[in-house]
């Protein structure tokens, strides 16, 4: 059912039946270390290249997510997801090992939100089971967007650290004591003209504030309807900026949090925090899903954010547009 301009509330129950998370070696030392389902001992994972390691990560996460609830990949109606690498190779290549119908998605780091939105719509319709998975890897993203790994560059204080990790969820019609996707607000591409590729939090915050405010206007809810509003990878600065932008519009988000700011501990010094398509899916599958299962969180607004830049667009002087999708996840008492 469409509500307002951009928001859809689902009529049927779409359960998140299973989730699985795989964290890289540095993420495993971060704040959520006891929540990860599996941890990579090094970031090559016995693969020939980091790209192959990322393929292997997604394959592993999807396989474990399904086998945890004894679902055969052949029985799933669709597999969808994405990552940050050219032509979303890691996702597509990991999908060739499952004989599941596949849809590749790209919304930069907001891909997981896009996958949850589309997947829940399909399950709300005639689909039975849909798997959503995204991943990112520090070394592959560094090559994609920045410099060779061994180049002695100095990270600027605004920059974020791409999370090595992957998370998958299984959306299903099968009733049970699981969290449910209740609806979503699809974001617009918003560009306030920032062009510093190191400061992605600042570039994405306007998109996140636009989506969150549209969500509240469409649904008529207030921020305290949710136990937690959690964005994808704004980082510490982006999170503060988002808080400021929403406050200007009259929404005081006391329960605002950010996966990217939380994923690393204070002892690790990754600039503003984590980023990447795998950041929000990792934190969702590891931390948020478990908190929803044990009922310490009941209603969350999950807002993955993405910065839609490429190496060349930045060089050609384009500014960085941002996007954010808000997904409502609730569970029954």
The contact set with other proteins (CB under 8 A) reads: 26, 29, 43-44, 48-50, 138-139, 143, 147-158, 161, 164, 192-194, 196, 198-199, 202, 206, 237, 240-241, 244-245, 248, 264, 268-270, 272
Nearer to other proteins, 143 or 299 (CB): 143
The nearer residue to other proteins, 182 or 236, going by C-beta atoms, is 236
> Helices (DSSP H) in 133-276: which residue ranges?
138-145, 200-219, 235-248, 259-263
Q: How far, in Å, CA of 81 to CA of 249, rounded?
A: 33
Q: How far is the CB of 261 from other proteins (least distance, A)?
A: 13
Residue 223, both tokens? 């921020």
Q: To the nearest whole angstrom, how small is the minimum distance from the Cβ of residue 299 to other proteins?
A: 29
Q: For other proteins, give the closer residue by CB, 47 or 69.
A: 47
Q: How far apart are CA 262 and CA 274, in angstroms?
A: 8
CB of 137 to other proteins, least distance (A): 9
CB of 155 to other proteins, least distance (A): 7
Shortest distance in whole angstroms from residue 220 CB to other proteins: 23
Residue 331 gets the label, from left (phi > 0), alpha (psi -120 to 50) or beta, of: beta
Closest to other proteins by CB, 100 vs 209, is 209
Of 146 and 221, which CB lies nearer to other proteins in the complex structure?
146
Q: How far is the CB of 112 from other proteins (least distance, A)?
A: 22
125 closest CA partner among 173, 71, 178: 173
Residues 234, 243: Cα–Cα separation, whole Å: 11
Which is closer to other proteins, CB of 15 or CB of 138? 138
For residue 316, CA distances in Å to 84, 106, 160, 221, 312 come to 20, 22, 22, 41, 6
Beta strands, E only, the chain: 2-3, 7-23, 38-39, 78-82, 102-104, 129-136, 161-162, 165-172, 180-185, 228-231, 256-258, 274-275, 299-303, 305-307, 322-324, 326-330
């Amino acid at each position: 059912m469409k509500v307002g301009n951009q928001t859809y509330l689902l009529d049927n129950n779409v359960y998140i039946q299973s989730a699985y998370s795989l964290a890289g070696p540095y993420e495993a030392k971060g704040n959520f270390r006891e929540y990860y389902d599996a941890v990579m001992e090094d970031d090559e994972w016995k693969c020939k290249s980091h790209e192959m390691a990322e393929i292997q990560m997604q394959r592993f996460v999807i396989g474990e997510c399904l086998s945890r609830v004894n679902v055969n990949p052949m029985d799933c109606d669709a597999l969808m997801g994405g990552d940050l690498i050219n032509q979303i190779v890691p996702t597509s290549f990991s999908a060739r090992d499952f004989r599941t119908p596949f849809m590749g998605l790209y919304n930069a780091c907001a891909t997981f939100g896009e996958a949850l939105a589309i997947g829940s719509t399909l399950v709300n319709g005639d689909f039975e089971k849909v798997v959503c998975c995204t991943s990112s890897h520090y070394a592959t993203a560094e090559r994609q967007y920045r410099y060779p790994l061994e180049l002695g560059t100095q990270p600027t204080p605004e920059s974020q650290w791409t999370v090595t990790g992957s998370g998958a969820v299984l959306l299903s019609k099968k009733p049970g004591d699981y969290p449910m996707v209740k609806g979503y607000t699809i974001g617009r591409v918003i560009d306030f003209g920032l062009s510093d590729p190191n400061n992605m939090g600042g570039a994405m915050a306007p998109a996140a504030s636009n989506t969150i405010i549209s969500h509240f206007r469409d649904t008529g809810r207030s921020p305290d309807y949710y136990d937690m509003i959690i964005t994808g990878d704004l980082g510490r600065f982006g999170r503060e900026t988002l808080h400021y932008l929403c406050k200007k519009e009259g929404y005081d988000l006391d329960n605002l949090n950010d996966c990217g700011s939380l994923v690393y501990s204070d002892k690790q010094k990754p600039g503003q925090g984590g980023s990447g398509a795998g950041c929000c899916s990792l934190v969702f599958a590891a931390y948020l899903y478990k908190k929803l299962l044990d009922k310490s969180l009941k209603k969350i607004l999950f807002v993955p954010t993405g910065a839609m830049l490429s190496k060349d667009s930045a060089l050609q002087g384009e500014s960085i547009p941002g996007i954010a999708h808000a997904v409502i996840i609730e569970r029954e008492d």
